[in-house]
Structure 1
Amino acid sequence: MNLKGKKVVLHDMSLRDGMHAKRHQISLEQMMNVATALDEAGMPLIEVTHGDGLGGTSVNYGFPAHSDEEYLGAVIPKLKNAKVSALLLPGIGTVDHLRMAKDLGVNTIRVASHCTEADVTEQHIGLAAKLEMDTVGFLMMAHMASPEKILEQARLMVSYGANCIYCTDSAGYMLPDEVTEKIGLLRAELDSS
């Protein structure tokens, strides 16, 4: 793939995904220190939430050292250039969590579902788009569906209001040819404007 002349936006997930390795026990000070260092390094987009996204605090997913609201409220005012994103998995995170994140200054919301279950994202993607957030539809576990099924599900997310689609092989199963086939079909069939 030739990226010459293309705009690539880096999106750091370490403060959210790293929560798993730290049993969700990252302190506010650690969160602010890492986020401000990423900001100073020029990272344009930083994801900040519980490891399992907004609303992840539970017996099932783990109790963090601080709430999503506390993390977001501590980090966002400290950033000079970077924008903050949040992950939301319908069934874990709610529209109330989405509104809270927006009110605190979250710019980008990634609404995620299994790659065959995009229909569960309609309410959350629709609200995020209505709130004029940068709204990402996030299809996980892409190794479990055909390229055509992935495209069908991505189109649903776009129809709900997603302005960007992430398609990920969360399990690390796909080889380069399958990645090329699935992402190539999305790029060919979805509007990239």
Structure 2
Amino acid sequence: MERKSIGDVVVLWLWFLSLATINIQFSLSDGTSDVICSARERRALQRIKQGLVDQGNYLSSWTREACCSWKGIGCDNITRHVVKINLSREPMEGAFLGGDISTSLLDLNHLQYLDLSWNSFEGLQIPEFLGSLTGLRYLNLSNAGLTGDVPRQLGKQSSLQYLDIGGISLDTENLDWISSFRP
């Protein structure tokens, strides 16, 4: 049997950890997990829900204490922090979410993924505070009924890797903020 050096074992261990991190950070709960996020994050999610109009009862699971098992919520399985909110409503699913996009999103300090696409935030301006979500890597606002200028702060996001604003009625004279995105 071949002996492994400490260096080989460390490299193998780091490789394993990197794979585990990649797989867990963006996995949505399948509804069977009883993982509880922090009380602060749970309150923030409840305030987000209060601002939304949910005619289709899409957010009915947002009542239990185990917020990592709520529909559309993804948590890091190690830290239990909320890292993903996917409230996208496919056009064929019917009832859309509407109402307000709450500033309580700012209380989710580990949020990396936010998808509000295919909802009905009719006439609502794209919230400027979205540019303050500094850990955001994925943002999809396409076909969500939003209007107005894209907040310049989004262009200053160093971690944002994906931005979809398709189907938004933009009213802007200056698109300089786009130049700060890296190809």
- Alignment TM class, shorter chain as reference: 0.3 to 0.5
Of Structure 1 and Structure 2, the greater helix share is in 1
**Higher Cα radius of gyration:** 2
Q: TM-score w.r.t. structure 1 length?
A: 0.37
Q: TM-score w.r.t. structure 2 length?
A: 0.38
